Amino acid sequence: MENTNNPQPHDLSNSNQGNMSTPLKNLPNGVAVLVLGICSIFPGCFCYGIVGIVCGIIALVLAKKDMLLYNANPTQYNPASFSNLKAGRICGIIGICLSSLYIIFIVIYVIILGAAFSMVPWSSMTH
């Protein structure tokens, strides 16, 4: 038994306001934000966190521009493209957090190693 009175939330039939001749456009940077967000998580943490922070920041800047574009006229853009944008934004935030934690870990590690090596009696080892 099919319920036709209650449309689904992702029903695209009413999203273009009756103008079926114009197809819905994708957001310009939706895929780029998703790719950069994913790149900020996986390879970003292996390059001392620098790549992750850079990719994450670029993803967040592009996502903000496209979210403003989508919020100005949501009936013009494809909801799947907006979902990619949201997923890429979340991945970018996670990538920035993980990369920042990795950089903090490296700094603390270097400080501890520096303190440990400064305690070694180097003058007694030269004989």
Tell me the per-residue pLDDT of 24-35, one tens digit each, with 9 for 90 and over. Answer: 999 999 999 999
Q: Is residue 114 part of a domain?
A: yes
pLDDT exceeds 60 at position 20 = no
Full domain range(s) for residue 55: 30-118
Residue 67 maps to a domain: yes
Q: What is the DSSP code (8-state) at residue 48?
A: T
Domains of the chain: total: 1
Q: pTM of the predicted model, to two decimals?
A: 0.78
Higher pLDDT, 9 or 33: 33
* Plot region of 18 (φ>0 → left; ψ -120 to 50 → alpha; else → beta): left
Both tokens of 85, joined, read: 């944008």
Residue 18 has pLDDT above 80, yes or no: no
